Structure 1
């Protein structure tokens, strides 16, 4: 895939092999930067070595925070913000997938704005923040091109998605995704699939979102079955990274809805649950209800998975099964019980959604009732 540069809202994205070098202007004038990573992926992917080389050449001192976990906690963002404030860093660099980049977005604001996280939740947009470079290591979240961040409040286990800031510069280099494991390849790719499907069927969607989402689903439907059998194919990785980026643009323009709403409850309560895995467990049944509400749009989006799905509400079962079959084809077979959940947890999960995270389902294209949520959860066991 030919490398390119994209300007979307406040972010400049460099896509393709060697993209970090093309963004080297970001480092001009910097003396000390805060580098946010997870435990291993920054090093294993090769991205950290490339970054270290550039910083060394330009005489930039790095200050590391490497404690970000999957389904990250607010406490991690607060610790990194305090550390970088004390060190007086000039900018923030994130090397990782959605968890790392999301934390970095929050950190870029909290470090210098004097704003509290609670204010960010209420939609406050601080005027001050640190410049942010995001080096993306997965083809799942699309967070490198959107304004959203997701973190879990430690005490309440509320996993909040909030509009914070765009990165100033983002890097999508497919070479950095070559070391994703088979499981992470599947999880992140299915995350991108549900970004595309949900955003195009949300109540705030519009034709451009449908166009981008359809292209993303087309690529995922064609390339993911090939990629799971050939993880070191950089061309397949590039295609999946492109699809994920398109889906990220879609959710930035529209939104997700019920699949993400319920999943945020689940992985907030049990952080061991990978986000993409949770979506894949819940997703097919939500597709059923979505297709009943929006059969024409849903059938068009799912055509790459099954061209025989009809644009009528009566084909909702076929739409659901087509997604299930696709997920099984690429090797996804996990259930909620694998992470310690039982059907006895359904009332608690349902109550949590409707009392604490109801805003997550406001753009769902049908009326969400407790009976529907219970039905979706039962389908995931």
Structure 2
């Protein structure tokens, strides 16, 4: 991994061509030169601060593609943003969408690209009454080392009326860029959040009921990098070598969940950040994660131990090590400076019934691959731990 930053590469996975490495944007000119009008979807600041927006502007101007900008995407994005974006795409005659950001802009762009050509509203795809038949081409410029959405088919949006946060299997980007330069401007907190997102992607993928040896290989490599390099990166935020390694780990984790699945931790987090959109996605995962690990290790200790041995080599593939597994994850998070609680975001014991209702009545599909029977008592225990 020490020389990874010198090994730029192109990966073809599913229907995505991923360009990985410094200045990767220069490699996409031939792939997009036949388009005439693009829409750039992003948030208010990260696309510009990272330098990605100016790089994209230069490429579009060099090859003569006109463009418009939609910079209203927020963290934990709303369905209405995807629908608004789709309407702009349609009315402006756009033939290429370019998403610049972490999971939120890329996810919104995925959904908008489908709605623009397949019609309907987000809720139609959530309920399954409409299927993604056609979609506009999407170029995804990833700005974090956490999301995985640049290589997977998933998109996450929250329904405005019910505040239900749903994951949709919607489409792959046609082209993606993983350039570690764009992650240099992530502050310490966002560095921690996005990296823990990749950690839980890998841990849930390797322990899901649909895991396989190839998923195990990717997940273990991802976790080994995160365990080795994250603490170093937190203390050296502008280290491009470490950023490169972490972006590679996150990309592996993204493929792992695309081939496999997340499960109960992501399901609970979707409820929490749907109810309180100010809760960052990966922060929510880290809050409930250690206690989730306790139950997972009890259920599938062999798989869990394969992942967690990078945090603590003394963890054995035995159910009796569940407490030690939980503590290993909690101590790892503390070591990198994560000390938040769910109560910091306004949650109390009084919210437990609402959380349970949302999870069991509306998001059952999200925990179907959990390696143990998900009960109300277990979910309450996991959430109480995070308070």
Provide TM-score, normalisation by structure 2: 0.97
> Counterpart of 2:156 in 1: which secondary structure?
strand
Report what 1:96 is aligned to. Answer: 101
Report what 2:69 is aligned to. Answer: 64
Report what 2:58 is aligned to. Answer: 53
* Deviation at residue 122 of structure 1 after TM alignment: 4.1
Tell me the alpha carbon deviations over residues 18-68 of structure 1, each in whole angstroms, 9 at most, x when there is no partner.
111011122211111111000100000000111100111112111111000
Please say if residues 4 and 14 of structure 1, whose CA atoms lie closer than 8 Å, have aligned partners that are also in contact: yes
Alignment of 1:1-381 (within 5 A): 1=4, 2-123=7-128, 124-381=130-387
Please say if residues 209 and 369 of structure 2, whose CA atoms lie closer than 8 Å, have aligned partners that are also in contact: yes
Q: Structure 1 CA distance, aligned partners of 2:127 and 2:30?
A: 34
* Deviation at residue 90 of structure 1 after TM alignment: 0.9
Q: Structure 1 CA distance, aligned partners of 2:377 and 2:58?
A: 55
Q: Structure 1 CA distance, aligned partners of 2:209 and 2:34?
A: 44
Please say if residues 83 and 121 of structure 2, whose CA atoms lie closer than 8 Å, have aligned partners that are also in contact: no
Please say if residues 63 and 84 of structure 1, whose CA atoms lie closer than 8 Å, have aligned partners that are also in contact: no
Q: Structure 2 CA distance, aligned partners of 1:339 and 1:127?
A: 39
> Counterpart of 2:22 in 1: which secondary structure?
coil
Q: Structure 2 CA distance, aligned partners of 1:103 and 1:291?
A: 34
Please say if residues 132 and 170 of structure 2, whose CA atoms lie closer than 8 Å, have aligned partners that are also in contact: no
Q: Structure 2 CA distance, aligned partners of 1:259 and 1:304?
A: 20
Please say if residues 267 and 363 of structure 2, whose CA atoms lie closer than 8 Å, have aligned partners that are also in contact: yes
* Deviation at residue 116 of structure 1 after TM alignment: 3.3
> Counterpart of 2:219 in 1: which secondary structure?
helix
Q: Structure 1 CA distance, aligned partners of 2:312 and 2:200?
A: 16
Q: Structure 2 CA distance, aligned partners of 1:32 and 1:340?
A: 44
Q: Which runs of 5+ in 2 are unaligned?
A: none
Larger mean Cα displacement after TM superposition, 340-349 or 233-242: 340-349
> Counterpart of 1:230 in 2: which secondary structure?
coil
Q: Structure 2 CA distance, aligned partners of 1:27 and 1:315?
A: 52
Q: Which runs of 5+ in 1 are unaligned?
A: none
Tell me the alpha carbon deviations over residues 146-166 of structure 1, each in whole angstroms, 9 at most, x when there is no partner.
000000000000000010000
Please say if residues 184 and 239 of structure 2, whose CA atoms lie closer than 8 Å, have aligned partners that are also in contact: yes
For the aligned residue pairs, the C-alpha RMSD in angstroms reads 0.9
Larger mean Cα displacement after TM superposition, 140-149 or 107-116: 107-116
